[in-house]
Amino acid sequence: MAVHLGGSAAHPGGHTAQAAFGSLNKPMSNKTPTTRRKKLATPEVRCIINVLDECLCKIAVSSILPCELVNPEGVSEELGDTAVESLRVHLRLAQEYCSLQDTDTSEDKSIAQEVQDSLRNFLRHVRPRIAIEPVETALQGAGPILQEDQKAVQALGAGLQEIREVLMEQLMTTPKEEWERRRLGQEAGDRQKRNAQLLHRVEQEVRAATEHRDDVISKKDEEIQNMKDSLHQIERECEEFEEQVHMKAEQQHQSDLKNSEAKRLHLQEEASQLQVQLNRLTAQHREREVALRQKNNKLETEIENWIQKYDAEMEGKQAKLEGLMQTYEQEQAELRQLQERFALLEIEHTQIMEERRREQERREEEKRDRRKKTRAAIIIQRFWRQRRAARKKKGKGKKGKKGKGKKK
């Protein structure tokens, strides 16, 4: 059953509308503690809030209207016979409207207007009792209630309650508070810019540190490879030299065996000397190899220390970067909230300025009308003065002529 609420004026009992509607549906309030502590300073603001409160109260009553009057005696005891009769008329018209709802005729529109009038009439009868008697209890026992209609009306009341909360906050927001909100928005924007610059600088530092680490590792790898190549070259040279020595010793040994035993002994001595020299060279090469291996181990240890130091620095910078990102996300959320509130304030400010402009134009139009009327009145008075003076002058001329005729 679709119903339309009629217009309402400020009512002394309007402050109970929120309590009456709160028993059916309790919307969440967006008011801050500062706004709750404020008072309605001007009569205009109090009048607006009272109108909204009375509308909420009427919606609360409309949401519990039964679709059929089963217990008129209980309603009559609580609200009176006049209210019961007006409710019975409203329910009858509502049923007729529901039966003709599928058609689009002038009769349907007429019944819809009658349904609206009957609802206004019923609300007007129960209006003096809304603030002092349990209308809700009386109507809940009057008959069954359609859940769909009740949910629709409650949704309308919830939306109107939200509008009331927003309007209350807007009407009680001072210019100083609005300036403070803008200042906070500007500070949040500045912090966002600073954080973005800091993030860019940290990323550059991380990139430079990564490139430096890669360069150091590449150089160390080249040094290690060069050392390995040098070691392999020394080993090959030692092997070649040893082979050559053995070959020469063998050739010399064969030659000495052919020539003479003395020469063999001489060659054995020379071979012994060469063997000693070989051992000495081998020992030297092994010592050099050990030194190179120690140097290689030292370089690997230094590389490992550099890597651990780099990892520690990167972990610290990563933790700092994550903290900055969390701060950045929080400030982004605050900035979005402030921008949404600023958009609502901007719309309200535009409406108020438009209403002031219209009022100013109306006052200027009234001033122009008064000036025109004043100018017209002055012209009419001047015209009548001239006419009156002309009549007096004409009357004196006639009297003078009559006196001269008698003397002759």
- CA neighbor of 161 nearest in space, from 19, 45, 18: 18
Q: Please write the tens of the pLDDT for every residue from 58-111.
A: 888 877 788 777 777 767 777 777 877 888 888 888 888 888 765 555 666 788
CA distances for 365 relative to 145, 190, 308, 372, angstroms:
54, 47, 84, 11
Give the pLDDT band of residue 128 (cuts 50, 70, 90): low
Tokens standing for 53?
Answer: 């409160």
Q: How many CA atoms lie within 13 A of 94 on its CB side?
A: 22
Confidence check: pLDDT of 246 > 80: yes
Confidence check: pLDDT of 270 > 60: yes
Confidence check: pLDDT of 250 > 50: yes
227 or 141, higher pLDDT: 227
| Average pLDDT of the residues in 299-315 | 89
Give the whole-number percent of the chain exceeding pLDDT 70.
80
Tokens standing for 330?
Answer: 């929080």
Q: What are phi and psi of 10, to 5 degrees?
A: -65, 140
pLDDT at residue 21, as a whole number: 39
Give the pLDDT band of residue 125 (cuts 50, 70, 90): confident
Confidence check: pLDDT of 370 > 80: yes
Q: What are phi and psi of 290, to 5 degrees?
A: -60, -45
Confidence check: pLDDT of 262 > 80: no
Q: Please write the tens of the pLDDT for every residue from 380-390.
A: 988 888 888 88
- Residue appearing with tokens 């007007």: 124
Segment of 21-35, 180-194, 252-266 carrying the highest mean pLDDT: 180-194
pLDDT at residue 167, as a whole number: 80
| Average pLDDT of the residues in 145-156 | 81
Q: Please write the tens of the pLDDT for every residue from 313-354.
A: 888 888 888 888 898 899 888 888 888 888 888 898 889 989
The residue extents of the domains of the chain are: 12-172, 182-358
Contact of 292 with 227, CB cutoff 8 Å: yes
- Residue appearing with tokens 């050099």: 288
pLDDT at residue 24, as a whole number: 39
Confidence check: pLDDT of 212 > 70: yes
In whole angstroms, what is the distance from residue 89 CA to residue 67 CA? 12
- CA neighbor of 114 nearest in space, from 233, 3, 223, 275: 3
pLDDT at residue 401, as a whole number: 54
Confidence check: pLDDT of 236 > 50: yes
pLDDT at residue 36, as a whole number: 44
Confidence check: pLDDT of 40 > 70: no
pLDDT at residue 105, as a whole number: 59
Contact of 91 with 52, CB cutoff 8 Å: no
Residue 252: CB partners within 8 Å, gap ≥ 6? 267, 270, 271
pLDDT at residue 31, as a whole number: 43
In whole angstroms, what is the distance from residue 323 CA to residue 335 CA? 18
pLDDT at residue 25, as a whole number: 40
Kindly report the pTM of this predicted structure. 0.37
pLDDT at residue 27, as a whole number: 38
Confidence check: pLDDT of 130 > 70: no
- Residue appearing with tokens 């430096």: 212
Mean pLDDT (the chain, rounded): 78
